Chain A
C-alpha cells in the first residue's frame, strides 16, 4: 500500500483511500449497455426495486408480527391490519409485491430464453438467476406460513410432506424439518427465521453474484449481435455517441429503466390500493386448524404450474406409484430451467424469431405453462385430471426435445 499523505478529512484524501471514482466508472459510467434493447431489459431494475419494497415493508411488519402459533394470526389480522397506523398498507404492499415479483421474474426469465441470453459465455448469469428463482420460491413459501391461517397451515403441511419422498417414507426428515409430528409452533418459528433472516441474506448475496456474473460478459441485445465493447466504448467516449452501439449504464441506460420502472410502480400501487385481494386468499382469513383441511388447497398463482406437474400423473405407470412419479416430475420441474444452457445445441446466440423451430418450442412452452397454471387451480377431477396429465407430459417432452430442436435449427442455417 502506498502511504497516503492527504488528510482523511478531505474529499481528495477519501478518494485516494477508496478510489470511489474508479469504482463508480467501472460499475456505472463506463459499464456499457447495448443500445439495441427494449423495455424487457428493464426487468432487472424493476426486480431490484420490488425487492427493496419487500425489505422496507417487511421491516415494518416485523415490528408487530409475533411468530407464535397462539399469537401470529391476531398479530397480523388484528394488530397490524387494524391498530398499527398504515399497517394495512405495509401488509398489502408486502403481499402484492411478493406476488408481482414472481410475474416480473417470469418475464425476466423468458426474455432470457427468447433472446438466447443463457448460453455461450452467459451460463453463470443464467445459473445464478435460476438459484435466485429457487431461493425466492423458498422465501415466498416461508412467508406464506406466517399469517397462520388455514392456507398457511395446510400449504406448510403439504409442502413439508414432500420431503418424505413418497414411497421412500423419510418421515424422520419431515419431522426434523417441522420440529414435531405435525406442523407446529417450532415449525412456524423456524420458518419465520428463514423468511426474515437466512433466506433474505442468501438472496442479497445471490443478487450481488448475479450482477457480478453479468458485468464481464455484458448484457445481450435484441439481435444477439456480438459487440466489441472496447471499440464501441471508445467511439462513445470520443463523442461519436450516434455511431456507437453502446451507452453507459449510468446515466443513460438507467434513465430508460426509470421510465419503465415508473410505469411498473403505477401498476403496482394500483394493485396495492384497489386490487390487493388477489394476493389475500379468503381461506387464509380462517385461523389455522390442524383438524380441518380446507375444501380445496392450492398454492399462490406463481407455484401453480409446478404444483400441477406434481399431481399430473394420477395413475400408476412403469411399475411406479402415481404419487412417486408426480414427485419426481415436480422435483425435476424446480430445477428444469437450470439445465437449459446445456441442452441447447445451437452454437449461435440468436433471438427465437431467427430460430424457427425453437420459436415454436418457446411458444408451446409458454402456452403449456399457462395451461398448467390454470388447471393447477382447478379441482383435479374428471377431464381436469387428464388435461393436467397431458400438459405435464408436454412439459417433459419439451425438455427432452430441446437438444434436437435447437440442433435442427443450426443445421438448417448451415451453422453445423
Chain B
C-alpha cells in the first residue's frame, strides 16, 4: 500500500515540477512580448543645434524626444544662476523632460516657471518643484554637447552635472 502511495506522490510531484517550469517559462515569454520593441528602443536619439533655433531668453521651446517633450529654456539675466545650468559662453540653459514628475502631464510655461494643469504642481526655471504634489524636480534627459549641438539620448558629462545639481 505504502509502495503505491509513494509512486503516486512521485507522479504528482513530477507533474507539479514540469507544470511549474513550463508555466514559469511561458510567463517569461509573455512578459517579453510586452517589452518595448527593438525598433522603439533604437529610435532614441534627437539632435538640437542651440545656435540655430532662435531661442528667445525666458521663452522655452519644446522638442520631441522618444515621444516625450523636452523643454529647452534660455535663461534671462534676471533669473537666478544655478549650478545645474548648461553654460555655453554667456548663455545659461535649462534642459528638462517636459513631463510633470507627479503623473506625467505637460506643464505649461508661465512667465518664470512651469505650472501643471492636472494637479497644480509648479516648477521654477531650474526645473525644481516649488508647489503641489510633484515629488522631485523635472527629469533631465541624458544628453551630450558638442559645440552648440545637443544630442538627446546620449549620456554626457553635461547632463550628468545637471542631474547632480538638481538632486
Chain A residues within 8 Å of B, Cβ to Cβ: 154, 157-158, 161-162, 166-167, 175-184, 186, 190, 290-297, 310-311, 313-314, 321-324, 326, 379-381, 385
Contact = CB atoms under 8 A, between A and B. Distances in A.
B117 A323 contact: no
A186 B133 contact: no
Given A157-B104, A290-B64, A324 B120 contact: no
B106 A311 contact: no
Given A291-B62, A323-B134, A296 B117 contact: yes
Q: Which of B35, B66, B102 has the most CB of A within 10 A?
A: B102
Interface in B85-113: 101-108
20 contacts: A162-B103, A167-B135, A179-B36, A180-B37, A180-B67, A181-B40, A182-B67, A183-B67, A184-B67, A190-B34, A291-B64, A293-B106, A293-B116, A296-B118, A310-B119, A311-B119, A311-B133, A321-B133, A323-B101, A323-B133
B60 to A, nearest CB: 13
Nearest to A177: B34
Interface of B: 31, 34-37, 40, 44, 62, 64, 66-69, 101-108, 116-120, 132-136
Contacts of B40: 179-181, 184, 186
Given A379-B117, A385-B120, 18 more contacts: A161-B103, A162-B103, A181-B36, A181-B44, A186-B37, A186-B40, A290-B67, A290-B69, A291-B64, A291-B69, A291-B106, A297-B117, A297-B118, A310-B119, A311-B133, A314-B133, A324-B135, A326-B133
Given A161-B104, A175-B36, A180-B67, A293 B117 contact: yes
Contact of B133 (A154, A157, A322, A379): A322
Nearest to B116: A293
A140 to B, nearest CB: 18
A286 to B, nearest CB: 14
